[in-house]
Amino acid sequence: MPDSLPFASDSSLDKDAALAHQLAVQRKRRPADPLVSLVVPVFNEEDSIAVFLAATLPLLERDGVRFEIVFVNDGSRDNTFARLFHRSRADRRIRIVNLSRNFGKEAALTAGIDHARGDVLIPMDIDLQDPPELIATFIAHWREGYDIVYGIRTARHTDTRAKRVSAGWFYRVFNSMSPVRIPPNVGDFRLVDRRAVDVLRQLPERNRFMKGLFAWVGFNAVGVPYERPERAAGTSKFNFWRLWNFAIDGVVSFSTAPLRAWFYVGLAIAIVAVLYALFIVTRVLIFGVDTPGYASLLIAVLLMGAIQLLSLGIIGEYLGRLFVEVKGRPIYIVEGVYEDGTAEPPKP
């Protein structure tokens, strides 16, 4: 047996070397001419369609990429579907997944992922705040062996200060509670390899928080920084109330920490109550002081009532999601899939 082996032992391999080996393995599996699927959920975006296609198609054609654009019409009430249908008749690379009604962006994104045919998928918004210029960079990192390439918003000048601050707090709170960490200032704009997509399609939950699901599947990932531009057309469909509910969905979907926290809150209040009761009894027995204490009693009752209602609300959030999951209704319903001016049967 030779004294030394031509390769290093496992103990000498550091993290970077192991990652380099993983990337090398994946590079060998990458097809030379991949099909790229852009997944674009739309809801009342009739004014944004022409602007988006005018900016995106020339870039993809210039780079010589085989691609399809999968628009998911999430129950739009304007002329969004009519304009998409007109464009799909003129360009076979454009497909439309038309949902039967509005199911929400997370469900629409799920529908697009389920119907995309590409070797890699790139979910993105139609308002061009997800710059199509980054697609070539995403694909270059994918060719290096990364399975997920996500965009990091280094500047959000178009957002209000309140939105930037609240977003920062959300990422801190989420990452402190959840075992699944989400990179700060990262949205849905990313490239996802087919093997990661196949894992995503196996996840059955109805209450979907896609940022968390993208992070949950794991695989090797790398971030690409970019400055988030202004909307090219249309208006945002997310107001403060919808963003607040979206944040609650994210925390509740990936962490039971709120439930556990109220156990400790209740335990702390019980200890304080016992100590205060001992203090009152001792004071009466030793000093004979028996003060009615109406104000302090009223405050204590109101405080306990508020805590009980708040804890019931948190339990209700989890119970409501359990109720939805148990019913087992589909995440979305497809009215039809339209390509080249013809309708395909809905995908089961």
- Contact residues for 153 (Cβ-Cβ < 8 A; gap 6+): 185, 186, 187, 226, 227, 228
7: pLDDT confidence band, cut at 50, 70 and 90?
A: very low
pLDDT at 184: 76
Mean pLDDT of the chain: 76
pLDDT at 236: 56
For residue 346, pLDDT over 70 is answered with no
Rounded to two decimals, the pTM is 0.69
For residue 234, pLDDT over 60 is answered with no
Backbone angles phi, psi at 64, to 5 degrees: 70, 35
d(CA 41, CA 208): 15
Model pLDDT for residues 260-307, shown as the tens digit of each residue:
676 677 767 767 776 776 776 677 667 666 556 655 665 677 677 767
pLDDT at 12: 47
Q: Which residue has the higher pLDDT, 249 or 269?
A: 269
pLDDT at 246: 56
Q: Is the dihedral of CA 302, 305, 310, 313 positive or negative?
A: negative
Q: How many CA atoms lie within 13 A of 38 on its CB side?
A: 28
Specify whether the CB–CB gap between 198 and 113 falls below 8 A: no
CA distances from residue 119 to 57, 62, 258 in whole angstroms, order as listed: 19, 19, 39
For residue 64, pLDDT over 50 is answered with yes
Model pLDDT for residues 173-223, shown as the tens digit of each residue:
766 666 677 777 777 888 988 888 888 888 887 777 777 788 888 888 888
Model pLDDT for residues 118-175, shown as the tens digit of each residue:
889 999 888 888 888 888 889 888 888 888 898 888 766 666 666 666 666 666 776 6
